[in-house]
Structure formats: C-alpha cells, structure tokens
Amino acid sequence: MTTLLSVNLNAIAQLRNRRDVPWPSVVGMGRIALASGAHGLTVHPRPDERHIRFTDVPELSKLINEEFPSAEFNIEGYPTDSFLELVESVRPKQVTLVPDEPAQSTSDHGWDFQANHNLLSSVVARLSKSGMRTALFANANPADIPWALDTGCDRLELYTGPYGSAHGNPVVLQHELDLLAATAQAATDAGLALNAGHDLNVDNLPALIEHIPELAEVSIGHGLTADALIYGMDATVKRFLRACG
C-alpha cells in the first residue's frame, strides 16, 4: 500500500504569528502543498492559538472542499468542549485526539488508554456519530493496543518522536524502530489502521515504512517546513512523496 502524506501547517502558522501580518499565508502554503501532490493537510489548534488559529480551520476546510475535494483534512487536539465544537462545525475527514496539556510546546507522548478509557470512548463515539474518522495518539507499546481498541477508534497515530530523535545513535534508532514495528503489528492484528507522526523526515521515513508497510498516513510538519525553507514547498512535498514510496 502507498503511505499517504499529510502536511502539517503548524510551523507555517507559527512563523506567520510572529508579526501582525497575514504572511506567510497558511491557506496559500496549504494550497501549494496540495497542488504539489500532498494527500492532505493537518492542523493542531491549541487553546492559546500560538500557531494555528481557530479561524484558520474553516478557511482550510473551504480550501479542501472547493479546490481539492479528494484531499483529507486532519485536525489534531485535546478533546476540550471548544475543540469538539470546532471540529463538529467543519467535519474534517479525520480527527486525531492527543493528550497534550495546554502548556506543552508540542506533542511528546501518547495516551494512557487505560486511565483515559471513559473519556476517549465517549469522544470517539461522539465524533464517529458525526461521520468523522478517529485516530488516537499512541506510544510505541504493544501492551496498549487492547485498551486502545476498546475505545472504538478507527486508527492509531504512532508517536515517532523517540525514533526521530535517535538519528545520531544507530543502536537506539534500531530499538525504537523495532518497538514501533511491534506495536504496529499488534495494532494491525487487532484491526486498527495506522498513522504516524513526529520528527519524521526524508531520511528516516523510508526505514519506518519498510518496517511498517501497512502505514496508512504520515503527518509531517517541522521537518517538512525546514526543508521548504531550502527547496521551496513544491519541491519539498515531492521529496517527501518519494520518501513515502
């Protein structure tokens, strides 16, 4: 299967927010990414709106619906009332629930599925009733799979931060890769589809996909945006698409 590429626009929005001006345009960069072959866009509107603003979400939804109807819109976030009302107002194809505290600079761990079972089961049921696919952010831990499955979610998004940060240590990198593969196998055996994200780039993507051939989608922001500063968004998206196979 082909692993789909969703371009995370958070870093673009964070750059825009450094000044009281409308550039770089989040919608404009999203349009370039989709026109260059990306399969979708991802955003993570946090409560303090330090990068993606809540007002960006309907604008990006309109971009996809009117210009790229086959593309996917993936909205990530912690399931506060305001977040759930936002996603229900635009109904993206996928909602990825993450266990972020408001002060976190970025997502850095998956859910404790056992401790948050009632919350996640309730939210998954609510979103599924509205026709949205649900994905839950997950650590690389095969033992978590039964609890994750019991929430009723459609997919897991494997947190690949430890794998990405091990780039200078081949032994640790291989350990993290093996752990991700074992978790993916357990999830696949349980009938869950798989996404992945965090600190992925054109160098570490091929090995990840080789070890997890059933990987449906990767969401990439920081590494892709960094490369876009060098190569431009169009060429960068194409480089990442090649890395996805």
Active site residues: 44, 76, 198
Q: 77, 2, 71: which is closest to 32 by C-alpha?
A: 71
Gap between the Cα atoms of 20 and 51, Å rounded = 13
Gap between the Cα atoms of 24 and 111, Å rounded = 33
Q: 94, 14, 89: which is closest to 59 by C-alpha?
A: 89
Gap between the Cα atoms of 188 and 243, Å rounded = 22
Q: Is 3 exposed, middle or buried (0-12, 13-18, 19+ CB in 10 A)?
A: buried
User: Measured at the alpha carbon of residue 48, what is the angle toward residues 56 and 234, in degrees to the nearest 5?
Assistant: 40
Tell me the residue type at 159: Y
3-state secondary structure of 195: strand
